[in-house]
């Protein structure tokens, strides 16, 4: 292959190797972006142009020509939001809002849920409609919700629409959060576009800590545990004992947390280097002592979006106890369906909805409100253990593709546990359980430990941080799942 052909292969979209934050190509992409961004850092329009063009290219490298959907979405909602804001007739404003909602949800439903509803129709009518070969565009769930919140906020007159189309396209295509969130509100993000670019040592250190921490979660913890243990358990639980299945669930709980929060941390860290502050998306959720607290800590941008644009408009807690429980259930069912086109996701959301309702009733009893000292600590520990295992139970249905597979896994845990094989299990997967132990240990460390690490990184200048990050990404790319490296460091 000639140099030109090889260069073209690297620069053009390759469905076999889409760009990821931990990929080798991202190093070159980010270095080129950082250089261009620094050249125009003192020019507002220059920053917007550079960021938007690189973001659109990033999206192209991630999913090819589906980049056009982002541009199309931006055009539709930029135009409609300005029309809504200028319009004085309430009926017309409401009609434009519903048109925006239908367009956004229609696009999301077509790409994500078409085959799901075809299966339902076939099941009800004994039909034979063939599934449609539709690829799911990366990030569509996230930027659809961002579009909806923006248009709704404009309709409520909580924010003014942007006057320049490029500014809205910049907000929607902002590459750090494009693939896996967090879901960013226009009201929080767009005002930052017009502020002067100021990068403090705190921004550099905090950004580096988040980027490296996110990469560590994703590559070292999530990918390794999943590829070397969790995927085998969930592929066919009947081949494994109950204790293996149980630890497979514990492993998946760590995998999905490190996967989601790792990407979010990287997005927030990169944004911090570019002068944009995005609120945290995860706050040590497995330390929660109730399911309500869990949803205040887990995927905060999604849970707050569902609260503000689904739960409260449905009536929230303003229309009585039973209506509140119904609103909670509907909100969580929608949240489950948002995650994927499967009855398992809907069931996952339903269990969480029911648990949230029961938790509110439990708190009204107030059995632990007056507890102090050791008794209060025991209530706390018990709450954390119960909440964690409830969440793990729900993760079984979130991960399994069918109820049959989920039932098989739970059956193994309940009726074929064989706890006496625990030591053999540890001996069979020593590296996996060491990484799992490290993951949970880091998760339950006090926050002051993180702050101490951040304080040390604050001392680095921007280019020193870039150098450290480059070496770190290169190392992760070289060792991949760390299989060649672990025997060197984990000799027991």
Q: Which of 9-23, 224-238, 326-340, 407-421 has the lowest mean pLDDT?
A: 9-23
Please state, in angstroms and rounded to a whole number, the distance separating the CA atoms of residues 39 and 158.
35
The token pair at 52 is 């938007």
Hey, what's the torsion of the CAs at 352, 358, 359, 361, to 10 degrees?
A: 160
Q: Going by C-beta distance under 8 Å and a sequence separation of 6 or more, which residues neighbour residue 81?
A: 100, 150, 151, 154, 161
Q: How far is CA 177 from CA 173, 263, 270, 278, 385, in A?
A: 8, 8, 9, 10, 32
| Lowest pLDDT segment from 134-143, 334-343, 406-415 | 134-143
**Would you state the structure tokens that stand for residue 70, as one six-digit string?**
């982002």
Under 8 Å between Cβ of 107 and 148:
no
The mean pLDDT value for 287-297 works out to 96
Residues 230 and 140 sit within 8 Å (Cβ to Cβ): no
Q: Is the pLDDT at 479 greater than 70, yes or no? A: no
Residue 105 CB partners (closer than 8 Å, separation 6+): 144, 148
What are the pLDDT digits (tens) for 350-402? 999 999 999 998 888 876 777 778 888 898 999 999 999 999 999 999 999 99
Phi, psi (deg, nearest 5) at residue 288: -70, 140
pLDDT confidence of residue 484: 37
Q: What is the mean pLDDT of residues 284-293?
A: 95
Average pLDDT, integer, range 287-296: 96
Rounded to whole angstroms, how far apart are CA atoms 227 and 169? 37
Query: Which tokens in the block code for residue 274?
Result: 């570019």
Question: Which residues are identified as catalytic?
Answer: 339
Token pair of 197 as six digits: 């670019």
| Mean pLDDT for the stretch of residues 285-298 | 96
Q: Per-residue pLDDT for 24 more than 60? A: yes
Specify the pLDDT at position 462.
66
Nearest residue to 281 (alpha-carbon basis) of 338, 224, 210: 210
Q: Are 114 and 134 in contact (CB under 8 A)?
A: yes
User: What predicted TM-score, i.e. pTM, was given to this entire model?
Assistant: 0.91
Per-residue pLDDT at 485 exceeds 70: no
What's the CA gap between 167 and 52, in Å, rounded?
A: 9
Output the pLDDT for position 1.
60
pLDDT above 50 (res 492): no
Is pLDDT at 482 greater than 50 in this prediction?
A: no
| Vertex 413 angle, CA 410 and 417, to 5° | 160
pLDDT at position 489 is 28
Residue 136 has what DSSP assignment?
Answer: P
CA distance 304 to 302: 5
pLDDT in tens, 35-89: 999 899 999 999 999 999 999 999 999 888 999 999 999 999 999 999 999 999 9
Task: Give the pLDDT confidence score for residue 212 in this predicted structure.
Answer: 87
Residue identified by tokens 């390794």 is 224
Mean pLDDT throughout 211-232? 91
């Amino acid at each position: 292959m000639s140099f030109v052909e090889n260069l073209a292969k690297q620069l053009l979209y390759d469905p076999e190797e889409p760009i990821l934050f931990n990929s080798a190509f991202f190093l070159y992409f980010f270095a080129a972006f950082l250089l261009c961004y620094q050249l125009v850092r003192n020019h507002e329009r220059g920053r917007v142009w550079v960021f938007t063009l690189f973001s659109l290219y990033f999206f192209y490298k991630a999913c090819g020509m589906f980049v056009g959907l982002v541009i199309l979405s931006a055009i539709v909602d930029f135009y409609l939001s300005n029309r809504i804001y200028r319009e004085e007739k309430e009926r017309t404003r409401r009609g434009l809002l519903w048109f925006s909602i239908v367009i956004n949800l229609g696009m999301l439903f077509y790409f994500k849920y078409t085959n799901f509803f075809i299966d339902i129709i076939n099941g009800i009518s004994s039909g034979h409609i063939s599934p449609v070969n539709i690829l799911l565009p990366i990030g569509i769930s996230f930027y659809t919700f961002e579009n909806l919140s923006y248009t709704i906020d404009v309709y409520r007159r909580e924010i003014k629409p942007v006057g320049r189309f490029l500014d809205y396209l910049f907000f929607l295509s902002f590459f750090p959060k494009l693939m896996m969130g967090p879901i960013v509100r226009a009201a929080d993000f767009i005002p930052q576009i017009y502020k002067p670019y100021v990068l403090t040592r705190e921004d550099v250190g905090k950004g580096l800590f988040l980027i490296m921490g996110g990469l560590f979660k994703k590559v070292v913890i999530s990918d390794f545990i999943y590829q070397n243990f969790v995927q085998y358990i969930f592929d066919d639980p009947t081949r494994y004992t109950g204790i293996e299945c149980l630890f497979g669930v514990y492993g998946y709980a760590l995998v999905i947390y490190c996967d989601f929060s790792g990407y979010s941390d990287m997005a927030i860290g990169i944004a911090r280097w570019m002068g944009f502050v995005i609120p945290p998306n995860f706050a040590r959720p497995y330390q929660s002592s109730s399911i309500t607290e869990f949803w205040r800590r887990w995927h905060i941008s999604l849970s707050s979006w569902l609260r503000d644009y689904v739960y409260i408009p449905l009536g929230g807690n303003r229309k009585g106890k039973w209506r509140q429980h119904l609103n909670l259930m509907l909100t969580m069912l929608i949240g489950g369906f948002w995650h994927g086109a499967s009855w398992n996701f809907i069931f996952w959301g339903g269990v969480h909805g029911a648990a949230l309702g029961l938790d509110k009733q439990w708190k009204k009893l107030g059995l632990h409100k007056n507890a102090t000292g050791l008794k209060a600590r025991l209530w706390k520990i018990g709450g954390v253990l119960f909440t964690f295992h409830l969440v793990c139970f729900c993760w079984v249905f979130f991960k399994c593709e069918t109820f049959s597979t989920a039932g098989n896994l739970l059956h193994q845990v309940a009726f074929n546990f064989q706890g006496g094989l625990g030591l053999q299990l540890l001996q069979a997967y020593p590296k996996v359980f060491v990484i799992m132990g490290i993951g949970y240990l880091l998760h339950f460390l006090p926050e002051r430990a993180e702050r101490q690490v951040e304080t040390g990184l604050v001392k680095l200048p921007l280019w020193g941080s870039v150098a450290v990050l480059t070496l770190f990404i290169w190392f992760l790319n070289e060792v991949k799942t760390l299989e060649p490296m672990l025997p060197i460091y984990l000799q027991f």
